[in-house]
Chain A
Amino acid sequence: MASGIKDKVVILGMGCSKFGERWDSSPSDLMVEAFEECLADAGVERNQIEAAWFGAGIDAFNVGSSAMPLSIALRLNYIPVTKVENMCATGTEAFRGAVYAVASGACDIALALGVEKLKDTGYGGLPQRSRGVENDMYWPNLSAPGAFAQLASGYRAKHKVNKDDLKRAMAHVSVKSHANGAKNPKAHLQREITEEQAINAPFIAEPIGLFDCCGVSDGSACAIVTTPEIAKSLGKENLVAVKALQLAVSNGTESSHASWDGSYLKTTRIASQRAYDEAGIRKPKDEITMTEVHDCFSITELVTMEDLQLTEEGAGVKDVLDGTFDAEGSNPCQIDGGLKCFGHPIGASGLRMLYESYLQLQGRAGARQLSDPKMGLNHNLGGFPHQNICSISIVGPYG
């Protein structure tokens, strides 16, 4: 019987670049920016890193294929480097590779780095790209907001929610993230907005309006991981340990079988339950004290709160409007601004979430520091509601 990843690996150091429209920065520049911070935080030398995992989501508009871009940018010492790509779960996938390598004993110190350079397309939104030769022949030309707007209509139909009430709750999600992002100097968007602004913004894909969408950003984030023993031997205190790492990947049931009604994210429910089991969490609502979830769109965050069991199914609208997930609420979500305002360089996002959880747990989050965070959950969702990849990482104090 597998024992899981809980407390086998700790974070030695982390780094994160400024996210945003980094017109003058190449992917290499972004990688180095995150890596330099991470190395200094970890207190190790480049040559102590024995293996690396490199995450980048959209090759065609980014760094190109293979692991070489990382090795070249960081001048790594001919160590094994693996490229991973799993849509928006890419960053967490890179982290999973490094953590598993350390846990297996294959190496003592491993690096995970994610990067994305999205602002070289010449237009707003995510880059237009192929979904595969065969899929391109019959899938609708769905944009990301178009795909996630489906979730809003499915949720509204299932729970018989009034259009205006749902839109107001979605607006609240974004207003909250903007308020949080305003306190984060590395965030892409650092300006507060009002509920009226969010509600009255033009539709991108009904009912998703401009302020329901996350930022499309350039950025990079990375982590160096090791065993608790090595971290202690290096004099580290307040160790942040990995409690769970899970992934659930759609197998076509949601898109082709009647058992899914379009109102929730099946993968999130499966991956989060597995993660709670792995971390030994029985009452998520009480034990998870902060979340960084995949708020690509406000509706995704609202539904995800239910799928993570942080509120009852169908109670998302009420709990969001009651402020449960606001900075002062009982279960703050996206305290760093989230994808919404910190930004969403796809390959970096999972590591950016971990970066915030790590800072919060170490009490180093500055103006946005939560009073007593105990366990942080990070959630990514790659793809579309009807076909996606969900990754969950849970981190907390070692031991």
Chain B
Amino acid sequence: MKGITSYGVYLPRLRLGKQAMAEANAWFDASLKGLAKGERSICNWDEDTITMAVEATTDCLSALTEANVSSLKLASTTLPFLDRQNSVVIAEALSLDRTISTMDFSASQRAATSALINCLESNRNGNQLLVASEHRRTKAGSRAEMLWGDAAAAVAIGDDDVIAQCLSVATHAVDFIDHYRGDGADFDYDWEERWIRDEGFMKIVPAVVESVLDDAGVAAADIKHFILPTDQARAPAALAKRLGINAEAIVENQIASVGVAGAAQPLLLLAKALESALAGDTILLLGFGQGCDAILLRATDKLAQCKPRLGLSAALMRRREEINYNKFLSFNNLVERDIGKRGEADKQTYLSGYNRRKDLLTSFLGGKCRECGTVQIPREKYCVNPECNALDSQDVYSFASQQGTVLTWTADRLTFDWSPPAYFGMVEFDGGGKLMMDFTEVEEGSIDSGSRVSVHFRIRQFDPRRGFRKYFWKAIVED
């Protein structure tokens, strides 16, 4: 069977302090104070499942010496589009070849593990990319809000340079309704935690685990990394004990630092395990939801060479502390904020025009003039170099992985922005070309002419009237 060839992660920089969340809501539910430890990751207003997936996949690709991508699958229960294949948006943002296979996996907390099994069992050549990304909406003041986080993680699956070999897989399909989200519902509806543990985890998981271990001839006690994605703090230990897995093998669910990232949690914890695993370590990855997926992996001696540019430890460190709970409510559309008349402007996207500019808007492609070598964005008919102005002379040139320098900037408090002030300015790219761009994640006083930036896929605008969101690219000042 195939194995994992690379991994990558993305955590939004913003981390909301749980103390602040509990303080805002304890008047209604004092029990939230018991969950007020640490922080959770939250998407900025311009981040969603798709943008996080682009980041995580980029991180995963950074550790592959040869990408050779043959497919891209997205697993999520929070897909921005119900009918517009989300994985294709990600593929175009990454400028992947249009001949690859794409697919969205959804409707279960084990969407990612099922998709992973699908990849491992596939006879497709090359690297199959699988990214899981989750940005779940939760009711204000709920336990879920305290326990969950926003994140994405990606793995590549292939035959060559495998860092974790798949030993066996197993699945049991059981319609156990620990929670659900029906058509048109904004939020999950769940049942009692103790019942989920006793009748769900403890009854469904053991049989699947025994099956996967039997297949591979591996003893439970030999598992070095045990991944049970759950927001139930005690469930992994209880199950490990039942199964005979050492307590030290449990990969902690990061509830107090990131929060449980829904369908992205299995791959996020897999990335965490791979960061610390040694060659020969056995990893048991589970996905629970309407049954259970189990995937047994063994780290190879190639693992040590696999170094994603970001990785989970660095992603955890790269954080901006947020203690304003109202901002979280606003970013997640949980409160009707007075956004001012400038925010009322209609945001209709003219799809034919959008399609014409897709190279620029989604893939961030500009041009390089064959006549004079000038790199430029946007790519127009005539070369922008005043000494050249050649017609139709530009080859496609990607700005998506470029870095640059801030030439001019401001913090605009007049214009509409979901998180004012709106920082934007002229970026000069290292490889040539320049563009007036939005900046996000700016700490006041941290930006000036000369600041270094990298570029990232982001939500540019929402059109709530028509249920559309428009994507483009932004610049982020490098730490």
Given known pairs A138-B472, A141-B422, A153-B425, the reply for A257 and B408 (CB within 8 Å) is no
A195-243 at interface with B (beta carbon < 8 Å): 202-208
Do residues A142 and B415 form an inter-chain contact, with CB atoms below 8 A?
yes
Among the stretches A15-23, A94-102, A120-128, A182-190, the one at the interface with B is A120-128
Interchain nearest-CB distance for A159 vs B (Å) = 11
Q: Mark B342-356, 1 if CB is under 8 A from A, else 0.
A: 100100011001101
Among the stretches A44-52, A77-85, A144-152, the one at the interface with B is A144-152
Do residues A154 and B407 form an inter-chain contact, with CB atoms below 8 A?
yes
Do residues A253 and B360 form an inter-chain contact, with CB atoms below 8 A?
no
Interchain nearest-CB distance for B371 vs A (Å) = 14
Do residues B426 and A386 form an inter-chain contact, with CB atoms below 8 A?
yes
Among the stretches A68-76, A258-266, A330-338, the one at the interface with B is A258-266
Do residues B386 and A253 form an inter-chain contact, with CB atoms below 8 A?
yes
Please indicate the chain A residues that have their CB under 8 angstroms from the CB of B340 in the complex.
Answer: 123
A140 part of interface (Cβ distance < 8 Å): yes
Do residues B411 and A205 form an inter-chain contact, with CB atoms below 8 A?
yes
B376 part of interface (Cβ distance < 8 Å): yes
Do residues B414 and A204 form an inter-chain contact, with CB atoms below 8 A?
yes
Residue in A138, A139, A385 whose Cβ sees the most chain B Cβ within 10 Å: A138
Please indicate the chain A residues that have their CB under 8 angstroms from the CB of B472 in the complex.
Answer: 137-138
Given known pairs A145-B412, A256-B376, A256-B377, the reply for A137 and B386 (CB within 8 Å) is no
A121-178 at interface with B (beta carbon < 8 Å): 121-123, 125, 128-129, 133-134, 137-143, 145-146, 149-154, 156-157
Which of B377, B380, B416 has a CB less than 8 Å from the CB of A141? B416
A399 part of interface (Cβ distance < 8 Å): no
Residue in B376, B385, B409, B472 whose Cβ sees the most chain A Cβ within 10 Å: B409
Do residues A205 and B414 form an inter-chain contact, with CB atoms below 8 A?
yes
Interchain nearest-CB distance for A206 vs B (Å) = 5
Please indicate the chain B residues that have their CB under 8 angstroms from the CB of A141 in the complex.
Answer: 412, 415-417, 422, 424, 438
Report the separation of the CA atoms of residues A128 and B432 in the bound assembly, to the nearest whole angstrom: 32
Do residues B357 and A134 form an inter-chain contact, with CB atoms below 8 A?
yes
Do residues B436 and A255 form an inter-chain contact, with CB atoms below 8 A?
yes
Q: Mark B411-435, 1 if CB is under 8 A from A, else 0.
A: 1111111000110111010001111
Do residues A150 and B414 form an inter-chain contact, with CB atoms below 8 A?
no
Given known pairs A142-B424, A150-B408, the reply for A137 and B361 (CB within 8 Å) is yes
**Chain A residue with the shortest CB-CB distance to B385:** A257
Q: Mark A378-391, 1 if CB is under 8 A from B, else 0.
A: 00000001100000
Report the separation of the CA atoms of residues A208 and B448 in the bound assembly, to the nearest whole angstrom: 15
B357-392 at interface with A (beta carbon < 8 Å): 357, 360-361, 374, 376-378, 380, 384-386
Residue in B345, B380, B412 whose Cβ sees the most chain A Cβ within 10 Å: B412
Do residues A128 and B408 form an inter-chain contact, with CB atoms below 8 A?
no
**Chain B residue with the shortest CB-CB distance to A148:** B410
A105 part of interface (Cβ distance < 8 Å): no
Do residues B435 and A153 form an inter-chain contact, with CB atoms below 8 A?
no
Which of B384, B407, B417 has a CB less than 8 Å from the CB of A256? B384
Please indicate the chain A residues that have their CB under 8 angstroms from the CB of B323 in the complex.
Answer: none
B341 part of interface (Cβ distance < 8 Å): yes
Do residues A154 and B449 form an inter-chain contact, with CB atoms below 8 A?
yes
B244 part of interface (Cβ distance < 8 Å): no
Report the separation of the CA atoms of residues A386 and B426 in the bound assembly, to the nearest whole angstrom: 9
Do residues A151 and B408 form an inter-chain contact, with CB atoms below 8 A?
yes
A-B contact count (CB 8 A): 141
Which of B408, B409, B428, B460 has a CB less than 8 Å from the CB of A138? B460
Q: How many residues of B contact A (CB 8 A)?
A: 51
B137 part of interface (Cβ distance < 8 Å): no
B172 part of interface (Cβ distance < 8 Å): no
Which of A140, A154, A157 has a CB less than 8 Å from the CB of B437? A140
B206 part of interface (Cβ distance < 8 Å): no
Interface size class of A (residues with CB under 8 A): 35 or more
Please indicate the chain A residues that have their CB under 8 angstroms from the CB of B33 in the complex.
Answer: none
Please indicate the chain A residues that have their CB under 8 angstroms from the CB of B434 in the complex.
Answer: 255-258
Please indicate the chain B residues that have their CB under 8 angstroms from the CB of A251 in the complex.
Answer: 386
**Chain A residue with the shortest CB-CB distance to B344:** A128
Which of B416, B438, B448 has a CB less than 8 Å from the CB of A128? B416
Do residues A203 and B407 form an inter-chain contact, with CB atoms below 8 A?
no
Report the separation of the CA atoms of residues A129 and B407 in the bound assembly, to the nearest whole angstrom: 26
Given known pairs A125-B414, A128-B345, the reply for A139 and B407 (CB within 8 Å) is no
Do residues A262 and B408 form an inter-chain contact, with CB atoms below 8 A?
yes
Report the separation of the CA atoms of residues A376 and B448 in the bound assembly, to the nearest whole angstrom: 38
Interchain nearest-CB distance for A369 vs B (Å) = 36
**Chain B residue with the shortest CB-CB distance to A121:** B341
Please indicate the chain A residues that have their CB under 8 angstroms from the CB of B424 in the complex.
Answer: 140-142, 146
**Chain A residue with the shortest CB-CB distance to B358:** A137
B280 part of interface (Cβ distance < 8 Å): no
Please indicate the chain B residues that have their CB under 8 angstroms from the CB of A385 in the complex.
Answer: 408
Interchain nearest-CB distance for B342 vs A (Å) = 5
Please indicate the chain B residues that have their CB under 8 angstroms from the CB of A149 in the complex.
Answer: 409-410, 412
Do residues B384 and A137 form an inter-chain contact, with CB atoms below 8 A?
no
Please indicate the chain B residues that have their CB under 8 angstroms from the CB of A256 in the complex.
Answer: 376-378, 384, 433-435
Report the separation of the CA atoms of residues A258 and B434 in the bound assembly, to the nearest whole angstrom: 7
Given known pairs A140-B438, A150-B408, the reply for A203 and B384 (CB within 8 Å) is no
B318 part of interface (Cβ distance < 8 Å): no
Q: Mark B437-473, 1 if CB is under 8 A from A, else 0.
A: 1100000000011100000000010000000001011
**Chain B residue with the shortest CB-CB distance to A156:** B449
**Chain B residue with the shortest CB-CB distance to A144:** B414
Do residues B376 and A150 form an inter-chain contact, with CB atoms below 8 A?
no
Q: Mark A249-280, 1 if CB is under 8 A from B, else 0.
A: 00111011111011000000000000000000
Report the separation of the CA atoms of residues A142 and B341 in the bound assembly, to the nearest whole angstrom: 15
Please indicate the chain A residues that have their CB under 8 angstroms from the CB of B417 in the complex.
Answer: 141
Please indicate the chain B residues that have their CB under 8 angstroms from the CB of A252 in the complex.
Answer: 380, 384
Do residues B425 and A150 form an inter-chain contact, with CB atoms below 8 A?
yes
Do residues B409 and A153 form an inter-chain contact, with CB atoms below 8 A?
yes
Which of B342, B410, B473 has a CB less than 8 Å from the CB of A206? B410
Please indicate the chain A residues that have their CB under 8 angstroms from the CB of B473 in the complex.
Answer: 138
Report the separation of the CA atoms of residues A31 and B417 in the bound assembly, to the nearest whole angstrom: 36
Please indicate the chain B residues that have their CB under 8 angstroms from the CB of A255 in the complex.
Answer: 426, 434-436
Do residues B350 and A150 form an inter-chain contact, with CB atoms below 8 A?
no
Report the separation of the CA atoms of residues A251 and B385 in the bound assembly, to the nearest whole angstrom: 10
Please indicate the chain A residues that have their CB under 8 angstroms from the CB of B345 in the complex.
Answer: 128-129
B90-141 at interface with A (beta carbon < 8 Å): none
Please indicate the chain B residues that have their CB under 8 angstroms from the CB of A151 in the complex.
Answer: 408
A294-340 at interface with B (beta carbon < 8 Å): none
Do residues B415 and A157 form an inter-chain contact, with CB atoms below 8 A?
no
Please indicate the chain B residues that have their CB under 8 angstroms from the CB of A142 in the complex.
Answer: 412, 415, 422, 424, 436
Please indicate the chain B residues that have their CB under 8 angstroms from the CB of A386 in the complex.
Answer: 426, 436
Please indicate the chain B residues that have their CB under 8 angstroms from the CB of A203 in the complex.
Answer: 411, 413, 421
Do residues A258 and B416 form an inter-chain contact, with CB atoms below 8 A?
no
Do residues B412 and A146 form an inter-chain contact, with CB atoms below 8 A?
yes
Interchain nearest-CB distance for B351 vs A (Å) = 11
Interchain nearest-CB distance for B314 vs A (Å) = 29
Do residues B415 and A143 form an inter-chain contact, with CB atoms below 8 A?
yes
Please indicate the chain A residues that have their CB under 8 angstroms from the CB of B436 in the complex.
Answer: 139-140, 142, 150, 255, 386
Interchain nearest-CB distance for B125 vs A (Å) = 37
Please indicate the chain A residues that have their CB under 8 angstroms from the CB of B435 in the complex.
Answer: 255-256
Report the separation of the CA atoms of residues A122 and B473 in the bound assembly, to the nearest whole angstrom: 32
Which of A137, A157, A207 has a CB less than 8 Å from the CB of B353? A137
Please indicate the chain B residues that have their CB under 8 angstroms from the CB of A202 in the complex.
Answer: 413
Can you list 14 A-B contacts with CB-CB less than 8 angstroms, sorted by A residue number?
Answer: A129-B345, A134-B353, A137-B349, A138-B357, A139-B436, A140-B422, A140-B436, A141-B415, A141-B424, A150-B425, A256-B377, A257-B384, A257-B434, A386-B426
Given contacts A140-B436, A146-B422, A385-B408, 8 further A-B contacts (CB under 8 A): A122-B341, A140-B422, A143-B414, A145-B412, A146-B412, A153-B449, A255-B434, A257-B376
Of all A-B residue pairs in the complex, the 10 with the closest CB atoms, nearest first, are: A146-B412, A149-B410, A157-B449, A140-B424, A150-B408, A143-B415, A143-B414, A154-B408, A205-B412, A262-B408
